[in-house]
Each structure stands twice: as structure tokens, then as C-alpha cells.
């Protein structure tokens, strides 16, 4: 203070009138202004100078704890999930906690590090404490998944698969087999699976019966025998058809070039009938003529017109309609006596080769050079269909298929029972 009177004015006592007090002291105007200035400065210093306790209290009120940081992180994540903008979230948190947005971002990062660290500690603790039971649970689940795959591989042989079985390959009933040059080989379809050997260790009583694995091994032998039987039947049918008809299997390209002989369809229909794949009810034999014009394509017509062409008399003038098929690969025959069907680039005014077709239902089974040979091929086909259905070997093959289906079903039932288990006996090389 610059004047003794200031000490009186700053003691906090209430005077009736500051002006009358100063006038009583006879203070002139310049001195009065100086005194008032000193008083105001003193009061302002008192307002802006907090006590030591107030400073400490304010500092403690602003402290951000670890729990606060986690709360800030959760608040930020929830707001983000609701689709709020990042800047808006940071601004709101900055206002709430009286910190800059940059500091709020640091708190969020610190909280994330802390939370992730605690989660890692918990996971490590579980693995260390409960390692073997968890590993066993994962191992047994892998066993059940392998059993699922095995069940799928146990599917029965379809009619389409049986129709192609004479080619010497089988993949059904949980067996992969092959017959080549009279020699057969096979293995369980699951044998190449990485868990097949562990399954052999775990699929033991009481999960499966004592005869489970002997049945699996027996299935392989039965399947090889069945495949060999199918191959042999097809071979016998082929041999008999060639001997009785006098033609070879040489006419498979009849749609593209002038050829004669039996087609693969001749023997295939016999094989499908013998093995019970198709009863061919409603199917009938039919005769047609075929020409291959020099310009390309082919023409399907009636046998009488084919005979005219062979004798050099040209196309039949009474057949006035020609149905043209320029693209694609349909198989159509004339619809009435006054129509022929032309394929591709065929023309009626060029030289052509002539042959005759024997059809069975929708299949061409023979292409012969003379019309008289159609009846012979038809008779052989009909006779063989009647004979092959009663062959002992075809009867045995049909019975073997039923037996394989039954045995495969027993294995499937055993596998489904094993799949329902939560744990397995035995110990394999992969067990924890």
C-alpha cells in the first residue's frame, strides 16, 4: 500500500460512506484517485490468487483415473456404433472431462491398450490352466467331422454309376476300386484321409461293435467282386453280339461319316437290361435309311427311299417335305411317310452314301449297308435281351448289389452312432 489509509480500507470493515471518510481525512483529489487505484489492484489480487488448499482441490478434481479412461473408451465406441461422427464424439467428451480433444484421444488409446492386455492375460490363463481338456475337445470334434465325411462316402451306387461300371471304375459304398486287364484292386474311400488312422484307434468298443472294422475290410472285397462281375458281363454281351450279328462295334461316328456296324448303344442297352437298370418298357425297334451327301450333313428317311438311292433311282418323288435342321445336335426322324429330315449342310442334288439304321427307342444301335441286315440285327438284340436277364451271372450281380447296400447301411448306422459321442476311447498318435 502507498498510503496508511489503505490499510483501513482493506480490512474488510464496512464504513457508512467511503467518500465522507476520505473527506474527513481531508484527502485531496489526486491522492484520492491514487488510493482508489491501489485498493482495486489489491482486491483483484485477492480474487485471482487462490489459496494453496483451493489449488490442490481443483487439481484433484481434474484427475482422470484408469476407470475414467475405460469409461471414455466405452462411451466413444458406443457412439461410434450408433454412427456418430468422430469429431462430434471427441468434442462432447472433451467438454465433459475438461480436456482437449487430443488428450481425449490419448486416453482412448491408453484404455484400449489396457483392456487388450487384460484380455490377453485371461486367455493365457485359460490355456495354461485348461490346456489338455480343450485340446481333447478340439481333437474329438475333428474325429466327428471326419466321421461325417466317411458317412457321405458310404453312398449307394446309383443306376447311372452302374450303367458306366463296365468301364472298370467304382466309387461307392465307401470303396474306391478298379478292374483292369482282369485284375482288381480297391481300398476304403477314407483311407487317404489324414484322420483315417486316428479313427482306427478311436472307433473301438463300446463306440462301435467288435466286427465294425472287419465289415469295412469285407466291403472292399465285395465291391471289387461286384465291379469285376459288371465288367465281365459287359464283355460277355459284347462278344455274343459280335458273334451272332457278324458286325463289330464300329458305328459310333455314324452322325459324322459313312460307317457301318454296331454302336456302343447295342451292347449298352443289353447291359442295362441285364443289370436291372432299365426295363425298357414301351421301347420298340424301328428301321430307317440314312444318306451322307457329298456336300456334308446327313439325311434320315424311310427304308424304301434308301433302297431307291442304292439302285440309282434317286430320291423318292412322293416324299415332298424335307424338315431342315441346320444347327445343334437333335435326333429326329420323319414324322410321316411324306417327310424326310435333313441335318447340317445336306442337299438333295448331290451324290451321297447310303446305309440303314436300326433303332431301339431313341437309340441308334446298328448301321448296316443293306436293308436285309436290319432284321438279323434286330432278332439278335431281342433274343439276347430275353436271355441275359436270366443268366446266372446277371442274377448274382443284382443280388450282390442288394447285399452291398445292406452292408453299407450297417456301417452308416455304426458311424452315425459314433458321431453322436462327445468323447472317444482309445489313444491315437494325434491325441494331446
Peptide bond before 174: cis, by omega within 30 degrees of 0?
no
SS3 3: coil
Q: What is the pLDDT of residue 350?
A: 83
Instruction: Please tell me the number of Cα atoms within 13 Å of 321 on its side-chain side.
Output: 8
Residue 408 has phi, psi (to 5 degrees) of -65, -40
Residue 175 belongs to some domain of the structure: yes
Number of domains the chain contains: 4
Determine the Cα–Cα distance for residues 387 and 365; give it in Å rounded to an integer: 18
Residue 174 belongs to some domain of the structure: yes
- Are residue 159 and residue 193 in the same domain, yes or no? yes
Determine the Cα–Cα distance for residues 390 and 234; give it in Å rounded to an integer: 15
SS3 184: strand
Q: What is the pLDDT of residue 5?
A: 45
- Are residue 208 and residue 302 in the same domain, yes or no? no
Give the H/E segment covering residue 416.
helix 392-419
- Are residue 383 and residue 250 in the same domain, yes or no? yes
Q: What is the pLDDT of residue 16?
A: 46
Q: What is the pLDDT of residue 60?
A: 46
Q: What is the pLDDT of residue 80?
A: 81
Residue 30 belongs to some domain of the structure: yes
Give the H/E segment covering residue 128.
helix 101-129
Radius of gyration of the chain (CA): 50
CA dihedral 342, 344, 345, 351 (to 10 degrees): -50
User: Residue 104: which region, alpha, beta or left (left: phi > 0; alpha: psi -120 to 50)?
Assistant: alpha
- Are residue 259 and residue 354 in the same domain, yes or no? yes
Q: What is the largest CA-CA distance in the chain?
A: 161
Mean pLDDT, the chain cut into blocks of 10 residues (432 residues total):
45 49 55 58 52 48 79 86 83 88 87 71 44 88 95 94 96 96 94 95 96 96 96 96 96 94 97 94 96 94 96 92 81 92 90 96 96 97 93 92 96 96 93 90
Q: What is the pLDDT of residue 42?
A: 57
- Are residue 92 and residue 228 in the same domain, yes or no? no
Q: What is the pLDDT of residue 428?
A: 93
Residue 143 belongs to some domain of the structure: no
- Are residue 352 and residue 301 in the same domain, yes or no? yes
With DSSP H G I counted as helix, E B as strand and the rest as coil, what are the percentages for the chain, rounded to 5?
55, 15, 30
Compute CA 64 distance to the chain's CA centroid, rounded to the nearest angstrom. Answer: 53
Q: What is the pLDDT of residue 128?
A: 43
- Are residue 389 and residue 285 in the same domain, yes or no? yes
Compute CA 426 distance to the chain's CA centroid, rounded to the nearest angstrom. Answer: 33
User: Residue 324: which region, alpha, beta or left (left: phi > 0; alpha: psi -120 to 50)?
Assistant: beta
- Are residue 412 and residue 389 in the same domain, yes or no? no
- Are residue 335 and residue 412 in the same domain, yes or no? no
Residue 94 belongs to some domain of the structure: yes
- Are residue 8 and residue 66 in the same domain, yes or no? no
Alpha helices (H) in 130-211, listed in sequence order = 131-153, 159-163, 196-202
- Are residue 374 and residue 305 in the same domain, yes or no? yes
Containing structural domain, residue 258: 235-393
Q: Which residues, at least 6 apart from 403, have a Cβ–Cβ distance to it below 8 Å?
A: 222
Residue 326 belongs to some domain of the structure: yes
Owner of C-alpha cell 445292406: 406
Residue 137 belongs to some domain of the structure: no
DSSP 84: -
- Are residue 386 and residue 257 in the same domain, yes or no? yes
Amino acid at each position: 500500500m502507498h498510503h496508511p489509509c489503505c490499510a483501513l480500507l482493506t480490512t474488510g470493515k464496512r464504513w457508512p460512506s467511503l467518500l465522507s471518510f476520505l473527506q474527513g481525512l481531508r484527502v485531496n483529489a489526486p491522492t484520492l484517485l491514487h488510493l482508489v487505484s491501489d485498493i482495486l489492484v489489491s482486491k483483484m489480487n485477492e480474487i485471482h490468487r487462490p489459496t494453496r488448499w483451493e489449488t490442490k482441490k481443483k487439481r484433484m478434481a481434474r484427475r482422470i483415473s484408469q476407470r475414467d479412461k475405460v469409461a471414455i473408451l466405452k462411451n466413444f465406441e458406443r457412439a461410434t456404433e450408433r454412427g456418430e461422427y468422430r469429431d462430434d464424439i471427441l468434442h462432447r467428451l472433451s467438454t465433459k472431462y475438461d480436456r482437449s480433444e487430443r488428450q481425449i484421444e490419448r486416453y482412448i488409446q491408453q484404455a484400449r491398450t489396457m483392456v487388450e492386455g487384460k484380455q490377453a492375460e485371461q486367455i493365457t490363463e485359460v490355456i495354461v490352466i485348461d490346456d489338455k481338456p480343450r485340446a481333447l475337445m478340439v481333437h474329438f470334434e475333428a474325429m466327428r467331422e471326419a466321421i461325417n465325411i466317411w458317412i457321405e462316402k458310404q453312398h449307394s451306387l446309383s443306376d447311372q454309376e452302374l450303367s458306366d461300371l463296365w468301364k472298370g471304375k467304382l466309387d461307392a459304398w465307401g470303396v474306391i476300386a478298379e478292374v483292369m486287364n482282369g485284375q482288381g484292386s480297391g481300398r476304403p474311400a477314407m483311407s487317404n484321409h489324414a484322420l483315417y488312422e486316428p479313427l482306427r484307434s478311436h472307433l473301438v468298443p463300446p463306440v462301435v461293435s467288435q466286427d465294425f472294422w472287419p465289415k469295412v475290410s469285407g466291403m472292399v472285397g465285395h465291391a471289387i467282386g461286384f465291379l469285376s462281375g459288371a465288367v465281365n458281363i459287359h464283355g460277355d454281351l459284347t462278344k455274343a453280339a459280335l458273334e451272332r450279328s457278324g458286325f463289330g462295334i464300329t458305328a459310333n461316328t455314324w452322325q459324322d461319316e459313312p460307317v457301318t456296324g454296331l454302336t456302343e448303344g447295342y451292347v449298352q442297352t443289353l447291359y442295362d437290361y441285364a443289370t436291372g437298370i432299365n426295363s425298357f418298357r414301351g421301347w420298340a425297334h424301328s428301321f430307317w435309311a440314312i444318306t451322307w451327301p457329298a456336300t456334308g450333313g446327313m439325311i434320315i428317311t424311310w427304308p424304301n427311299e434308301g433302297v431307291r438311292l442304292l439302285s440309282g433311282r434317286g430320291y423318292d418323288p412322293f416324299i415332298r417335305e424335307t424338315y431342315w435342321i441346320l444347327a445343334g445336335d437333335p435326333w429326329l426322324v420323319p414324322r410321316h411317310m411324306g417327310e424326310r429330315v435333313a441335318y447340317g449342310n445336306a442337299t438333295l442334288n448331290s451324290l451321297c452314301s447310303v446305309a440303314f439304321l436300326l433303332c431301339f427307342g431313341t437309340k441308334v444301335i446298328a448301321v448296316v449297308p443293306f436293308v436285309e441286315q436290319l432284321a438279323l440285327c434286330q432278332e439278335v438284340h431281342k433274343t439276347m435281351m430275353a436271355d441275359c436277364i436270366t443268366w446266372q451271372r446277371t442274377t448274382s450281380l443284382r443280388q450282390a448289389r442288394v447285399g452291398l447296400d445292406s452292408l453299407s447301411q450297417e456301417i452308416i448306422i455304426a458311424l452315425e452312432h459314433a458321431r453322436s459321442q462327445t468323447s472317444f476311447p482309445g489313444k491315437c498318435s494325434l491325441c494331446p
